[in-house]
Amino acid sequence: MHGFQGQKKVSFKRKLYSWPVLLILLVCVILLGFSVRGLYVKSRIAEANRREAEAHLESLKERKTQLGAELERLSTDEGVETEIRTRFPVAKPDEGVIQIVEDEKTDSATSSSLVEPSKESFWKRFF
């Protein structure tokens, strides 16, 4: 009996502060730290994606407004006619083509101003 009584009970506190338990706790804290860091990185990525999606949504709203205005313009006869005239070379049956021709006098005046000055020396031209 003395053999059993000779052994002292190891207290819970002493078992808790033993090296193996502390090592296990340290490993758990390190693993939790990595998990928290991973969650932080993922939250930053999600935040950046959210901001990008909001910016894309704003651009789509602007595009929707522009398309609505374009649709309103094209819903009128004048808008359709303007669009057809800009895309295709068409004219109404009673319309004609006007050609603007410049005078030859204006062409010769502009061409004479473009002639190079003579290559004589300054003194020969002066005297």
- DSSP state letter for 75: T
What pLDDT score was predicted for residue 10? 67
Total domain count, the chain? 1
Residue 16 lies in a domain: yes
pLDDT digits (tens, 9 = 90+) for 59-83: 999 999 999 999 999 999 999 988 9
Domain that holds residue 78: 12-90
Residue 100 lies in a domain: no
Q: Where residue 126 falls among pLDDT bands split at 50, 70, 90?
A: low
Contact 51, 57 (CB under 8 A): no
Residue 6 lies in a domain: no
Q: Where residue 13 falls among pLDDT bands split at 50, 70, 90?
A: confident
Residue 117 lies in a domain: no
What pLDDT score was predicted for residue 90? 82
Residue 109 lies in a domain: no
pTM of the predicted structure, to 2 decimals: 0.49
Residue 18 lies in a domain: yes
Put residue 53 in one of left, alpha, beta given phi > 0 → left and psi -120 to 50 → alpha.
Answer: alpha
Residue 34 lies in a domain: yes
What pLDDT score was predicted for residue 2? 55
Residue 60 lies in a domain: yes
Contacts of 80 (CB under 8 A, 6+ apart): 74
